[in-house]
Amino acid sequence: MNYLTLSLALIFVLIPLLLSKALKLELEKDTIIAAVRSIIQLLAVGYLLQYVFDAENMLYILLMVVLMIAAATQNARRKGRSIQGITWKLVLTFVVVEVLTQGILLGLSITPPTPQYIIPISGMIIGNSMVLSILFLNRFTSEVEDHEDETELILSLGGTPKQAIHRQLITSIKASTIPTIESQKTIGLVQLPGMMSGQIIAGADPVQAVQFQLLILFLILTTAVVTSILLGYMSYPTLFNERMQLVKNRMKE
Amino acid sequence: MPVTVKEAVRLENVTYAADGQEILKQVTGSFPEGKITTLVGPSGAGKTSLFRLINGLRKTSSGDIYVEDKHIEKYHPVELRRKVGIALQSATMISGSVFDNLTLPLKLQGEELRREKALELLDLVGLKQDILQQNIKDLSGGQRQKLSIARTLVNRPDILLLDEITASLDRVSQQDIEELIVKINEKYGTTMIWITHNLQQAKNLGDYTWVMIAGEVVETGESSLLNDPSNEQVRRFVKGED
């Protein structure tokens, strides 16, 4: 695809703009901002990746991963700002997920240690981990608030903080990971995954594309479960003090 | 309070603040062992907060609390909460059956309540034995309250804190619970500290009473004090002017 054909793709931006104008939906400003931002951001990333790929320097790869983790942390921490030390908990979660998955991929030579593989896969892993973190934190904070009576009941009967928060923790872990598991059950039946579609359009062998997509799906499965569990078990102790008391103001927005 | 009676709980200059608001102000006093002491006072007097401090669910801002002459911070929190049981007006239950709720205190210790013991507890609190496997959703307010007390008793507490446990019940259930509390007190010698808004209940069932107003203990003594309070604020409260 060249820039001329790409510019023709702007027709697909014009259609919603015209419809919005005609129906007075007032979506024009946001549509233009979204379109301009995607053009700038993706082109910048494209050129940056080109540079990193050409340089073939591990330091650049590392820097890219660090940038991804920083951006994901910045995005997810807003949802969990009521939990003490959430920034470092998120950073640690993303680092563990990245090291675990890339360790297996590179260690078992499933993917080659080149930036073309490491960077896009890291992006998918960290991005997915970020979404899972947001889903988990959203659910966990509301579970804790909604079931405060139950938490205090268990504490008052001589339960430990872990016992007192167990139900809320498990519910939140399940609730945040179920969409990933469910979506994988119907994958390929309704829509083809984006990465696989991209590879097929770019001329790759469909079976090869499917194999790669499966790898990514399984990675995402691990990422989802590990992210929720790790974040959950790091978060709940901060809600209690050393006297096993539920510290309410640690949960305040 | 008579000096000859042993103290189950002693408070020394206890203050408690939450959300920037002073809830308890320099509360000092004691609750005698094996007796029923009622805690009366208008809403917002800090009575429930006092319970949460004694049970160790909240931390005092300053001052000291002793349970059986031992500072509560010298107890492991789990030990303290098993020793000082608490039953609340809300009678919060975990989802599941009556048995699931009864066995909860032991389950938290990795044990299971024996069926015979569970039936014995139901009998003690005046609940029919055939409700053991019933879902707690099917229980009435009075049944939940009795179950809540039975569940607290599983830990064999020496002190029982009862927070408005009859407030939302009909007259018959209320009477049942009153009889139950007296029965437990007599049978096990459990120290009872009972928050109630029902002054008649306080006069009839309590050995002693504390009157709390706006975070302060304004008068303590034998329950008969409610018939003729010496403090002007208490007099107004008893007359229903507060």
CB within 8 Å: B90 and A149:
yes
Based on the domain organization, do A112 and A194 belong to the same domain? yes
Based on the domain organization, do A95 and A212 belong to the same domain? yes
The rounded percent of chain B whose pLDDT value lies above 70 is 98
Parallel, antiparallel, or unpaired for β B7-18 and B62-67? antiparallel
Give B142 to chain A, closest Cα distance, Å.
18
Return the C-alpha torsion angle A173, A178, A180, A185, nearest 10: 150
Based on the domain organization, do A48 and A71 belong to the same domain? no
Quote the ipTM score: 0.92
CB–CB contacts below 8 A, A to B? 58
Give A196 to chain B, closest Cα distance, Å.
45
Parallel, antiparallel, or unpaired for β B70-71 and B159-163? unpaired
Strand order in the sheet with B70-71: B21-32, B7-18, B62-67, B70-71
Give A73 to chain B, closest Cα distance, Å.
30
pLDDT tens, residue by residue, B57-76: 999 999 999 999 999 999 99
CB-nearest partner of B81 from A157, A246, A248: A157
Give B83 to chain A, closest Cα distance, Å.
9
Domain edge (last residue) among A13, A29, A55: A55
Q: Count how many Cα atoms sit within 13 Å of the Cα of residue B235 in the half-sphere of its side chain.
A: 5
Q: Is the pLDDT of residue A253 over 80?
A: no
Residue A234 token pair: 């790091």
Residue B63: burial class (beta carbons within 10 Å; 0-12, 13-18, 19+): middle
Interface of A with B in 85-114 (CB under 8 A): none
Number of compact structural domains in chain A: 2
Based on the domain organization, do A50 and A86 belong to the same domain? no
- For B149, nearest residue in chain A (alpha carbons): A157
pLDDT tens, residue by residue, B231-242: 898 999 988 855
Based on the domain organization, do A49 and A72 belong to the same domain? no
Based on the domain organization, do A218 and A116 belong to the same domain? yes
* Domains contained in chain B, CATH given: 7-238 (3.40.50.300)
Based on the domain organization, do A83 and A197 belong to the same domain? yes
Rounded Cα distance, B129 and B126, in Å:
9
The range of the structural domain enclosing residue A28 comes to 1-55
Summarize the confidence of residues A121-134 as an average pLDDT.
94
Torsion angles phi and psi, residue B40, rounded to 5? -120, 160
User: Does the CA dihedral B63-B68-B74-B80 come out positive or negative?
Assistant: negative
Mean residue pLDDT of chain A comes to 91
Summarize the confidence of residues A103-121 as an average pLDDT.
93
Based on the domain organization, do A30 and A63 belong to the same domain? no
Residue by residue, DSSP assigns A1-33 as --HHHHHHTTHHHHHHHHHHHHTT---HHHHHH
Domain edge (last residue) among A15, A34, A55: A55
CB within 8 Å: B108 and A153:
no
pLDDT tens, residue by residue, A175-221: 999 999 988 888 877 777 888 888 888 888 989 888 888 998 999 99
- The residue among A101 and A188 whose pLDDT is bigger is A101
Q: Is the pLDDT of residue A252 over 70?
A: no
Contacts of A68-72 with C-beta under 8 Å, sequence gap 24+, read A68/A122, A68/A123, A68/A126, A68/A127, A69/A94, A69/A95, A69/A98, A69/A126, A72/A126, A72/A127, A72/A129, A72/A130, A72/A133
Q: Is residue B95 within 8 Å of B89, Cβ to Cβ?
A: no
Nearest one of B9, B2, B122 to B65, comparing CA atoms:
B9
What is the H or E stretch that residue A193 is in? none
pLDDT attached to residue A249: 60
| A170 lies within 8 A of chain B by CB | no
Residue A75 token pair: 């995005």
Q: Is residue B6 within 8 Å of B32, Cβ to Cβ?
A: yes
Residue by residue, DSSP assigns A232-250 as HHHHGGGGB-TTS-B-GGG
Paired residues of B220 in beta bridges: B210
pLDDT tens, residue by residue, A231-248: 999 999 999 999 999 986
Domain edge (last residue) among A35, A55, A75: A55
Based on the domain organization, do A81 and A23 belong to the same domain? no
Q: Is residue A196 within 8 Å of A212, Cβ to Cβ?
A: yes
User: Per-residue pLDDT for chain B (242 aa), expressed as one digit of tens each?
Assistant: 545 679 999 999 999 999 889 999 999 999 999 999 999 999 989 999 999 999 999 999 999 999 999 999 999 999 999 999 999 888 999 999 999 999 999 999 999 999 999 999 999 899 999 999 999 999 999 999 999 999 999 999 999 999 999 887 888 888 989 999 999 999 999 999 999 999 999 999 999 999 999 999 999 999 999 998 888 989 999 888 55
Mean residue pLDDT of chain B comes to 93
User: Which chain A residues contact residue B104 at CB under 8 A?
Assistant: 154, 157
| Residue whose pair of structure tokens reads 């107004």 in the numeric block | B236
Please report, for residues A206, A212, B69, the alpha-carbon distance to residue A200 in angstroms, rounded to integers and kept in the order given.
Answer: 6, 11, 77
Based on the domain organization, do A21 and A120 belong to the same domain? no
The rounded percent of chain A whose pLDDT value lies above 90 is 70
pLDDT tens, residue by residue, B77-88: 999 999 999 998
What is the H or E stretch that residue A81 is in? none
User: Which chain B residues contact residue A245 at CB under 8 A?
Assistant: 56-59, 77
Based on the domain organization, do A92 and A133 belong to the same domain? yes
CB-nearest partner of A245 from B57, B82, B109: B57
Based on the domain organization, do A159 and A211 belong to the same domain? yes
User: Which chain A residues contact residue B74 at CB under 8 A?
Assistant: none
Residues of B within an 8 Å Cβ radius of A: 18-19, 55-59, 73, 77-79, 81-82, 85-86, 90, 92, 94, 104-105, 108-109, 151-152, 155
Buried b (16+ CB within 10 A) or exposed e, A48-75: ebeebeeeeeeebbeebbeebbeebbee
Rounded Cα distance, B100 and B122, in Å:
13
Q: Count how many Cα atoms sit within 13 Å of the Cα of residue B17 in the half-sphere of its side chain.
A: 8
Give B235 to chain A, closest Cα distance, Å.
35
User: Which chain A residues contact residue B155 at CB under 8 A?
Assistant: 157-158
CB-nearest partner of A160 from B19, B78, B152: B78
A113 secondary structure, DSSP code? S
Nearest one of B186, B229, B149 to B35, comparing CA atoms:
B186
Torsion angles phi and psi, residue A87, rounded to 5? -55, -50
